[in-house]
């Protein structure tokens, strides 16, 4: 059997390719589907929070958001009392795109998990969540040492 890192990279690449292909058909570029999904589920948020949740560098998120704003998918505005942070929210067009992407994500997950039982899929989610938690705590430990 292949190594864990190889299997994780391969499955991520295959899933990402499928999702980005469908996102492209909707006129979306890489990075935008993740941002749309985040805003759909979490509502208005600041750029730093979006970057952290989506695992994207803040500068990269800035350019993704600029293209999304130019495409009419989001609005960026300042909140009263906080002139340093811009808050991002979905427009109607963005909400429609986010809902379409929800279907794309669902279809991709259905294909990816077709050979798994419900119990196996639940266990896989549990294990992947555990893996992410372990990696996040390792990264936090490294940040605290610097």
Specify whether 55 is located in the same domain as 87: yes
pLDDT of residue 71: 96
What percent of the chain shows pLDDT beyond 70? 94
Angstrom CA distances, 19 to 5, 30, 82, 132, 146, stand at: 21, 9, 36, 21, 37
pLDDT value, residue 2 = 92
State which residues form the domain around 140: 117-146
**Angle at the Cα of 105 (from 137 to 8), degrees rounded to 5?**
45
Q: How far is CA 133 from CA 71, 116, 125, 129, 146, in A?
A: 35, 23, 12, 6, 21
Mind listing the pLDDT tens digit for each residue in 4-33?
Answer: 999 999 999 999 999 999 999 999 999 999
**pTM for the whole structure:** 0.86
* pLDDT for residue 19: 97
Pair (70, 49) in one structural domain: yes
CA distance linking residue 22 with residue 20, whole number of Å:
5
Express each pLDDT in 74-132 by its tens digit.
999 987 776 677 899 999 999 999 999 999 999 999 999 999 999 999 999 999 999 99
How many domains is the chain partitioned into structurally?
Answer: 2
pLDDT for the residue 83: 66
The pLDDT-based confidence of 138 (bands split at 50, 70, 90) is confident
Q: Do 102 and 122 fall within a single domain?
A: no
Do residue 138 and residue 78 come from a single domain?
no
């Amino acid at each position: 059997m292949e190594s864990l890192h190889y299997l994780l990279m391969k499955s991520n690449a295959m899933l990402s390719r499928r999702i980005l292909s469908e996102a492209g058909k909707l006129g979306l570029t890489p990075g935008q589907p993740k941002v749309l999904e985040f805003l759909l589920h979490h509502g208005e948020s600041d750029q730093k929070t979006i970057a952290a949740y989506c695992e994207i560098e803040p500068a990269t998120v800035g350019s993704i958001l600029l293209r999304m704003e130019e495409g009419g998918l989001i609005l960026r505005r300042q909140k009263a009392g906080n002139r340093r942070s811009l808050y991002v929210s979905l427009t109607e067009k963005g909400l429609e795109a986010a809902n379409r992407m929800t279907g794309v994500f669902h279809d991709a997950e259905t294909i990816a998990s077709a050979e798994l039982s419900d119990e196996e899929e639940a266990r896989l989610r549990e294990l992947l969540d555990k893996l992410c938690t372990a990696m996040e705590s390792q990264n936090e430990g490294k940040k605290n040492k610097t």
